Every structure is written in C-alpha cells, then in structure tokens.
Amino acid sequence: MYSKTMPTGFPKNFLWGGATAANQVEGGWNVDGKGLTTAEVVQKATDRKVMSMNEVTKESVQAAIDDQTDKLYPKRRGADFYHHYKEDIKLFAEMGFKVYRLSLAWARIFPKGDETEPNEAGLKFYDNVFAECHKYGIEPLVTISHYEMPLNLTLTNNGWASRKTIADFTRYTEVLFKRYKGVVKYWLTFNEINASTWGFTGTGAIDSDLSLHDQMQLRYQALHHEFVASAIAVKQCHEIDPEAQIGSMLARMQTYANTPNPADVRAAQLQDQLNLFFTDVQVRGEYPEYMNRYFAENGIELTMAAGDEQLLAEGKVDYLSFSYYMVDCKINPNAVRTKKISFL
C-alpha cells in the first residue's frame, strides 16, 4: 500500500553503478612492466556449455607461457580499457554511474607477486583511473583480487595452496592502502571468494592431477590462507585509512528443497550453508560449527598457524556484498521415498 511517509525511490546517497574486472577489460597484458596472470593462461572455451576456467594443467600453463600472442587467450586483450579508460569512464558518467566497481591487476603492480617494491607504472595507471572517476563524481569501489593472481605465484607457491602467498598478498595490500588513502573509500578483498572451492580460478593452484577428496582438501586449505590474508588486509586498511571501508564478496546461489521430504530439505540447507559459509567467516570472524562438522564428515583437515583464529576475529569486514546469480532445487539422492498413491 502507498503512504506519503513511505520512501518512493532510491535515497540521494544511493550508489548506482556497474562493475568490471581487470582480467576481463584491461588488456595491455604485456606493457609497462605488467606480469602474466593466472587469467591469461586459460584458453578460450571451445564449447560454451563447458566451463573450462578451472581445467588447467602444468602442461597447459607452460604452453600458454610459450605462446606470446592473445589468439587463444582473450583475457590478454580484454576490451583494451588500458588504453581507452578515459572514454569508457566518460560513458559511465553519461549513464549516470555514481559508483564504479573495478578490480586491480595484481601483476600490474607486482609483476611476479613476490617483489619487495611495486611497479610504479602500474600504480600510476590506477592513479589516472581513479582521478578520471572522481572527475565525474564516480566513487571507485575496488576489488583487490579478482581471479588474476601473478602467474609466478602459481609456479613458485602453487598459488594460495601455500601459506607463503599470504605475505605476498599483504605486501600488495599495504601498498594499495597507503597509495590510495583518501582516494578509494570502498574496498573488497576477494571477488566471489567461494570460487576457491571450484579450483584454479580462485586458488591459483593447479590440482587437476589430484583425486576429488585431495582437490577439496587443497582448496579449503587455500581458502583458509585467503581468509587469513583478508583479515590482515582489513586490519591494515583500518590502521592506514580509518575512513575507508573494506568488505567481502560472494557469488550467491539460493537453494530450495525440491520436495517437502525432510531429506531434501536438509540437502538444500547444507547446500546453502556451503554457499554462505565464506561470508560467515569474514563477517563473524570464525568458522561456523556447521562447517567444522562438514570438514570432519568429509575428512578435510585444515592446518592453522598459531594466531590464525585471533586474526580472523580481529579482521572482520565492514560490509557484505554479493552477486546474486540463480536459484537451485536440491534433491537428496539417498532419500527414502514412499510410493505415490492416487485416489480416484
């Protein structure tokens, strides 16, 4: 029902805008000192019905390194935002954008990921991008890592599977918060952090030669390292720029039971928990008990360093964001079902 006291539109300070990812739009994959990223060694799909982003092997990565073209690797060229950002941001302004969510290319700032000093040309590029946004009154909302870690960290650490990657990431985040203090008010640590349970795209770790159980063991361990790195980054951000906010981001899929059968209801509940667990950790600062139970039931044992739990508790995010994709219906295949009876 309508009431004069009820709001009739978006509030004046509502941030309406759009989003891109560096690996999707920037291009400029081999200019101004940028290093190769994990996104740029994934071949384009030959069948759009098949999701191949995580089907990466040591051999396919080496073949990509040897190939110095972008013919098979479309994320190397993107939409050439690197050379056309002024035109693109002007178009965003004409569309009425108040916020532009973009990600930074980690390897544009730390080409190999493990350097002690950043690449000034990469930082300068984002100086210019942010200045162009502010020129039109557009607030940049920046994702720090969006599926494009420096490939060298895959080759040396097997990506997030190694705890050593935490230090490389937090060296990168410290540089960002200091460089863009007062320029960027809103940050996200990882895009769709739950993607790490899907494999290479999120973890940067090659695990195609492992059994399904060992894959999930590696992916949840890699995810733990990302949680710790995110918590450290939150603390860094709050200390360096207290006016800024830093959040988490989830690929959200809502699951419903396909029938009232309690087994189906429970299967849907579990599927939802497996989706929501990531932001539970980042928002609440601890692993929820339902995931500790899930790990125990599935033989997954996380290795935690002393102080990890305290870091998670101290590094809780300021806000929660998500991309809402779809709904799904769940049936427990092991459920006992009674025969349907029809009365005439």
Two tokens at 201?
A: 């795209």
Higher-pLDDT residue of 149, 334: 149
Threshold 0.85, pTM exceeds: yes
DSSP letter (8 states) at residue 199: -
Structure confidence by residue, pLDDT tens digits, 24-34? 999 999 999 99
Number of Cβ atoms within 10 Å of the Cβ of 24: 18
Structure confidence by residue, pLDDT tens digits, 100-141? 999 999 999 999 999 999 999 999 999 999 999 999 999 999
Contact 153, 207 (CB under 8 A): no
- Cα(139)–Cα(14) distance, integer angstroms: 11
pLDDT at 333: 64
Confidence band (pLDDT; 50, 70, 90) for 344? Answer: very low
Coil/strand/helix, residue 222:
helix
Percent above pLDDT 90 for the chain: 75
Q: Work out the mean pLDDT of the chain and round it to a whole number.
A: 91
What are all long-range contacts of 108-112, with beta carbons under 8 Å and residues at least 24 apart?
Answer: 108/22, 108/26, 108/32, 108/33, 108/34, 108/35, 109/172, 109/175, 109/176, 110/35, 110/150, 110/168, 110/171, 110/172, 111/33, 111/34, 111/35, 111/150, 111/152, 112/35, 112/150, 112/152, 112/153
Structure confidence by residue, pLDDT tens digits, 156-213? 999 999 999 999 999 999 999 999 999 999 999 999 998 888 899 999 999 999 999 9
- Cα(317)–Cα(323) distance, integer angstroms: 17
* 17-251 CATH: 3.20.20.80
Q: What is the mean pLDDT of residues 80-92?
A: 97
Q: What is the mean pLDDT of residues 233-249?
A: 97
Structure confidence by residue, pLDDT tens digits, 2-25? 445 556 677 888 889 999 999 999
pLDDT at 338: 43
Number of Cβ atoms within 10 Å of the Cβ of 336: 7
Rounded alpha-carbon distances, angstroms, from residue 281 to 213, 228, 309, 315, 320: 22, 10, 10, 10, 11
pLDDT at 52: 61
Contact 219, 210 (CB under 8 A): no
- Cα(209)–Cα(206) distance, integer angstroms: 8
Helix (H) or strand (E) holding 59: helix 58-66
Reply yes or no on whether the pLDDT at 58 is more than 90: yes
